[in-house]
């Protein structure tokens, strides 16, 4: 689908340039996509630096559009957010990711975590804990094998409320990560109060980590701070060996990026796991 090139995606131009007409078509298509179940997930491995093992996968949404082919989330999630459709789509993603993990476990794959992205709107939904409990019960996966990723900005939107929601998830045994860390404005005092297991250093800091001293220092400080608070660090967007080496030197716990693997369709992830050490 990526090979299809950008032209296939012209229909979904940057939101700012979208005509009202295009936007209405996209909204209508999204509604149909929810009914017809046109969404699927790709899975990107997360590698533990100390052992080289795959300890988890991040589930990333894709839309198999009947005309435009495989559509990346940046093209439709903003509109799904604005219209509220993200709540239904996000629920589908949560359910699909947990079902996928249950089926891998049934096939005898060693247990790994599956991380699912939560939109700000989903995170605020009062019935999310009930939805989660249903999914965990239906799929039978251990709650500690599910990780929810909440962006720093959605956590900081209303930190006091976020802490309550996070505590609720934590009591269910679900693991938690702050996504895109460093791009928002969380104060250190809040970071201490967020009951999360991990921080994910945003790709924008990882990109020039081995050449830009500012980025290197930010990453090093983030890792040290997280460890002081008893949290693990995941670096996202790791593309080169040099970035990897730097992160290893800083004792980053987990790495994720094209250097190891692109997000893979589930049928490609299994052979990848079979050829890579897993716990
Ligand atoms: P994110 O959560 O920050 O996910 C990481 C993005 O970086 C993914 O893009 C992934 O494919 C990409 N990536 C991974 N490794 C590398 C690398 O080495 N280099 C580069 N350049 N990129 C890398 P993707 O799959 O297009 O997803 C984009 C965003 O869409 C995600 O960013 C997330 O914010 C959102 N998203 C994806 N799935 C879901 C979902 O189920 N629910 C919600 N609410 N948002 C989702
Ligand atoms: Ca993420
Ligand atoms: Ca991220
Ligand atoms: Ca990001």
Tell me what ipTM this predicted complex has.
0.97
pLDDT tens profile 47-60: 999 999 999 999 99
SS3 227: helix
Per-residue confidence (pLDDT) for residue 206, from 0 to 100 = 95
Is the minimum distance from the CB of 147 to ligand 1 under 6 angstroms?
no
pLDDT tens profile 234-254: 999 999 999 999 999 999 999
Per-residue confidence (pLDDT) for residue 17, from 0 to 100 = 62
- Alpha-carbon distance of 198 to 223, in angstroms, equals 10
Is the minimum distance from the CB of 243 to ligand 1 under 6 angstroms?
no
For residue 200, which of 169, 232, 174, 173 has the smallest C-alpha distance? Answer: 232
Report the pLDDT averaged over residues 187-196. 86
pLDDT at 1 over 50: no
Shortest-distance ligand to the CA of residue 200: 3
- Alpha-carbon distance of 189 to 94, in angstroms, equals 30
Report the pLDDT averaged over residues 219-236. 95
Q: Whose CA is nearest to atom 44 of ligand 1?
A: 119
- Alpha-carbon distance of 98 to 146, in angstroms, equals 7
- Alpha-carbon distance of 154 to 139, in angstroms, equals 28
Shortest-distance ligand to the CA of residue 204: 4
């Amino acid at each position: 689908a990526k090979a299809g090139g950008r032209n296939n995606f012209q229909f979904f131009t940057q939101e700012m340039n979208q005509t009202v007409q295009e936007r209405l078509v996209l909204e209508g298509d999204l509604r149909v996509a929810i009914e017809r179940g046109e969404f699927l997930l790709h899975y990107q491995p997360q590698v533990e630096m100390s052992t080289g093992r795959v300890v988890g996968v991040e589930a990333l949404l894709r839309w198999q559009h009947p005309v435009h082919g495989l559509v990346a989330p940046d093209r439709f999630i903003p509109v799904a957010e604005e219209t509220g459709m993200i709540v239904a789509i996000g629920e589908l993603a949560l359910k699909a990711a947990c079902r996928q993990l249950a089926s891998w476990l049934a096939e005898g794959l060693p247990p790994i975590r599956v991380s699912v992205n939560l939109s700000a709107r989903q995170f605020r939904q009062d019935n999310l804990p009930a939805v989660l409990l249903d999914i965990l019960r239906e799929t039978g996966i251990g709650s500690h094998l599910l990780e929810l990723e909440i962006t720093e900005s959605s956590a900081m939107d209303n930190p006091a409320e976020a802490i309550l929601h996070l505590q609720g998830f934590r009591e269910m045994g679900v693991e938690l990560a702050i996504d895109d860390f460093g791009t928002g404005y969380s104060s250190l005092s809040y970071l201490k109060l967020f009951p999360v297991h991990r921080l994910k250093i945003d790709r924008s800091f990882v990109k020039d980590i081995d050449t830009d001293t500012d980025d290197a220092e930010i990453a090093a400080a983030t890792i040290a701070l997280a460890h002081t608070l008893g949290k693990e660090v995941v670096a996202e967007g790791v593309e080169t060996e040099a970035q990897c080496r730097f992160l290893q030197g800083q004792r980053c716990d987990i790495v994720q990026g094209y250097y190891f693997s692109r997000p893979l369709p589930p049928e490609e992830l299994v052979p990848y796991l079979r050829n890579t050490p897993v716990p």
